[in-house]
């Protein structure tokens, strides 16, 4: 997050960031099945670091939001760990659809179709794998029942090329009873929080409110 004042550490929350590395000889990132290993290990060792490992959330923005959705999906399919909240901030959730076939609300969005093609090819080089449920949960091929998946906060940007797929996934989560809120940030585009501090802090406040309610039973009971 851009503002230190809004960071989880400054608010006194335990915060875990998982990073993934791969050999230099590998031309593409690892498959999205990797992140769940990190989230699965954290609850087991939380007590060793002075925090409650039973209260776990995942989240990310842009590609990180897609990875967070994949982690939540794996937790559902594998029976754990229990995730109290997933935060998906302007995520790419349908790589099965070519970026050139996607439409934004404005003529020249920040994320241009040609850029989307480069990102999609870098993340999943083989087009046949882009319909995988961990890559494209908003794609037409994924019709599995998501009942029981982690509660979700979906944040979209009004002018973002990726907004429509995030909206579709939010609607799918709502049908599964898992959507906590779909927060649409008006008048902004992909990556807005790196440029507009006011809008960013407003969004971070929404995320923080939902995180408190999901991770702190006392806050949830107080409403």
Which residues carry out catalysis?
62, 160, 190
Distance of alpha carbon 142 from the chain centroid: 17
Q: Quick check: 147 and 177 in contact, CB under 8 A?
A: yes
The residues, any chain, with a CB within 8 Å of residue 55's CB and separated by 6 or more, are 84, 215, 216
Residues 6+ apart with CB under 8 A from 8: 14, 15, 211
Please tell me what DSSP assigns to residue 203.
Answer: H
Residue 24: its H or E element: none
Q: Virtual CA dihedral for 208, 181, 178, 67, nearest 10 degrees?
A: -60
Could you give the CA distance from residue 181 to residue 151 in angstroms, rounded to a whole number?
A: 9
């Amino acid at each position: 997050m851009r503002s230190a004042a809004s960071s989880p550490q400054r608010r006194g929350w335990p915060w875990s960031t998982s990073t993934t590395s791969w050999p230099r000889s590998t031309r593409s990132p690892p498959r999205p099945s990797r992140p769940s290993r990190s989230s699965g290990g954290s609850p087991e060792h939380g007590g060793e670091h002075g925090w409650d490992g039973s209260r776990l959330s995942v989240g990310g923005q842009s590609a990180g939001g897609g990875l967070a959705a994949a982690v939540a999906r794996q937790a559902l399919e594998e029976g754990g760990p229990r995730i109290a909240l997933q935060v998906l901030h302007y995520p790419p959730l349908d790589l099965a659809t070519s970026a050139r076939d996607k439409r934004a609300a404005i003529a020249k969005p920040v994320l241009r179709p040609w850029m989307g093609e480069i990102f999609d090819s870098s993340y999943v080089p083989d087009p046949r794998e882009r319909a995988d449920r961990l890559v494209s949960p908003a794609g037409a091929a994924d019709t599995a029942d998501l009942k029981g998946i982690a509660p979700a906060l979906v944040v979209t940007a009004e002018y973002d090329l990726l907004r429509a797929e995030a909206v579709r996934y939010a609607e799918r989560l709502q049908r599964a009873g898992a959507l906590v809120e779909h927060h649409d940030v008006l008048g902004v585009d992909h990556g807005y929080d790196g440029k507009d501090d006011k809008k960013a802090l407003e969004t971070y406040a929404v995320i923080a409110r939902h995180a408190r309610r999901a991770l702190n039973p006392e806050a949830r009971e107080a409403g």
